[in-house]
Amino acid sequence: MAIVIFSSELQKFTGEERIELGVSTYRQLVDGILGRYPDMPAEEITEKAVSIDGMIIQDPLLDPVAPDSEVHFLDRISGG
Protein backbone atom coordinates (compact mmCIF):
# COMPACT_ATOMS: atom_id res chain seq x y z
CA MET A 1 0.00 0.00 0.00
CA ALA A 2 1.13 3.54 -0.70
CA ILE A 3 2.45 5.50 2.27
CA VAL A 4 1.20 9.07 2.69
CA ILE A 5 3.30 11.34 4.90
CA PHE A 6 1.46 14.35 6.36
CA SER A 7 3.19 17.63 7.20
CA SER A 8 2.63 19.09 10.66
CA GLU A 9 0.16 21.48 9.02
CA LEU A 10 -1.93 18.59 7.67
CA GLN A 11 -1.60 16.65 10.92
CA LYS A 12 -3.95 19.22 12.46
CA PHE A 13 -6.69 17.55 10.42
CA THR A 14 -5.47 13.96 10.41
CA GLY A 15 -4.02 13.53 13.88
CA GLU A 16 -1.57 11.15 12.21
CA GLU A 17 1.89 11.52 10.70
CA ARG A 18 1.42 8.80 8.08
CA ILE A 19 -1.14 6.40 6.71
CA GLU A 20 -1.22 3.60 4.15
CA LEU A 21 -3.75 3.53 1.31
CA GLY A 22 -4.37 0.93 -1.36
CA VAL A 23 -4.77 3.12 -4.45
CA SER A 24 -3.44 3.22 -8.02
CA THR A 25 -3.91 6.89 -8.98
CA TYR A 26 -3.49 10.28 -7.34
CA ARG A 27 -7.23 10.91 -7.69
CA GLN A 28 -8.00 7.74 -5.72
CA LEU A 29 -5.47 8.81 -3.11
CA VAL A 30 -7.16 12.19 -2.62
CA ASP A 31 -10.60 10.55 -2.45
CA GLY A 32 -9.26 8.07 0.13
CA ILE A 33 -7.78 10.81 2.30
CA LEU A 34 -10.90 12.99 2.17
CA GLY A 35 -13.09 9.97 2.91
CA ARG A 36 -10.96 9.06 5.91
CA TYR A 37 -10.79 12.65 7.25
CA PRO A 38 -14.16 14.28 6.46
CA ASP A 39 -13.29 17.41 8.49
CA MET A 40 -10.32 18.17 6.22
CA PRO A 41 -11.19 20.82 3.62
CA ALA A 42 -10.40 19.44 0.15
CA GLU A 43 -8.32 22.53 -0.63
CA GLU A 44 -5.83 21.54 2.07
CA ILE A 45 -4.49 18.87 -0.27
CA THR A 46 -5.85 19.65 -3.73
CA GLU A 47 -4.16 23.06 -3.83
CA LYS A 48 -0.74 21.66 -2.94
CA ALA A 49 1.94 20.17 -5.13
CA VAL A 50 2.62 16.52 -4.46
CA SER A 51 5.76 14.44 -4.37
CA ILE A 52 5.29 10.84 -5.48
CA ASP A 53 8.44 8.80 -4.95
CA GLY A 54 10.56 11.96 -4.89
CA MET A 55 9.16 13.44 -8.13
CA ILE A 56 7.37 16.76 -7.56
CA ILE A 57 4.18 17.07 -9.57
CA GLN A 58 2.48 20.48 -9.71
CA ASP A 59 -0.88 19.42 -11.16
CA PRO A 60 -1.46 15.73 -10.54
CA LEU A 61 -4.76 14.08 -11.36
CA LEU A 62 -4.43 10.68 -12.94
CA ASP A 63 -0.76 10.25 -12.13
CA PRO A 64 -0.06 6.67 -11.04
CA VAL A 65 0.63 5.75 -7.44
CA ALA A 66 2.40 2.41 -7.06
CA PRO A 67 1.66 0.07 -4.17
CA ASP A 68 5.08 0.92 -2.69
CA SER A 69 4.96 4.68 -3.38
CA GLU A 70 5.70 7.35 -0.79
CA VAL A 71 3.59 10.50 -1.14
CA HIS A 72 4.17 13.95 0.40
CA PHE A 73 2.06 17.09 0.00
CA LEU A 74 4.04 20.32 -0.48
CA ASP A 75 3.21 24.01 -0.43
CA ARG A 76 3.42 25.51 -3.89
CA ILE A 77 6.20 28.03 -4.37
CA SER A 78 5.74 30.64 -7.05
CA GLY A 79 8.70 32.15 -8.84
CA GLY A 80 9.25 35.81 -9.42
Mean pLDDT of all residues belonging to the chain: 92
What are the pLDDT digits (tens) for 39-77?
999 999 998 889 999 999 888 888 999 999 999 998 877
Per-residue pLDDT tens digits for 25-38: 999 999 999 999 99
Report pLDDT for 78: 67
- Given this model, what pLDDT does residue 68 score? 96
**C-alpha of 29 from chain center:** 7
CATH code, residues 2-74: 3.10.20.30
d(CA 16, CA 5): 9
| Dihedral (CA of 31, 37, 41, 43) sign | negative
Q: Is the pLDDT of residue 80 over 70?
A: no
Domain map (residue ranges) of the chain: 2-74
For residue 20, the SS3 value is strand
